[in-house]
Amino acid sequence: MAIPDLTDLEKSIIQQSINERWRNGGVVAEEVEVELRLSKGDREVTPCPALYWEHEGCTFLVAKTGDNRYRSQFFYSAKEQFNTGIEEYTDLGDCVLFLLRLQADHESERQQNFPKAS
């Protein structure tokens, strides 16, 4: 099953959310293709269009898994990977918003536990 490409509107929604989060600009999402198992029982992976961006050591990914279906995650390393706890979204705005909020909360906790050296 071929997943439709991200539309200009979908890409715009993601980039606008990024711009609102980091008002200083400079954070730009790039188009990539990722391979995902669309259901837990799948043995094969499916190529999915996605947008990817990085900010201060954190990588973000929003993938399109079907018509009006999206997944998201952020990670710092292979050992530190996180998602929102929601397997799949039908609203792209919610998908990106929850991802960015969760990462902001997580980053705040990380800084409390491991303050940056001055």
Q: What is the pLDDT of residues 36-74, one digit of tens each?
A: 998 888 889 999 999 999 998 999 999 999 999 999 999
Confidence of residue 14 (pLDDT cuts 50, 70, 90): very high
| Tokens describing residue 105 | 């909360």
Is 91 a domain residue? yes
Is 78 a domain residue? yes
Determine the structural domain holding residue 62 and report its residue range. 8-112
Is 1 a domain residue? no
Strands 30-36 and 81-82: unpaired
Is 82 a domain residue? yes
Mean pLDDT of 86-102: 96
pTM over 0.85: yes
Confidence of residue 108 (pLDDT cuts 50, 70, 90): confident
pLDDT at 117: 56
Cβ pair 72, 99 in contact under 8 A: yes
E-strand spans in 16-57?
Answer: 30-36, 46-55
Is 80 a domain residue? yes
How many structural domains comprise the chain? 1
Residue 30, beta-bridge partner list: 52
Residue 13 has pLDDT above 70, yes or no: yes
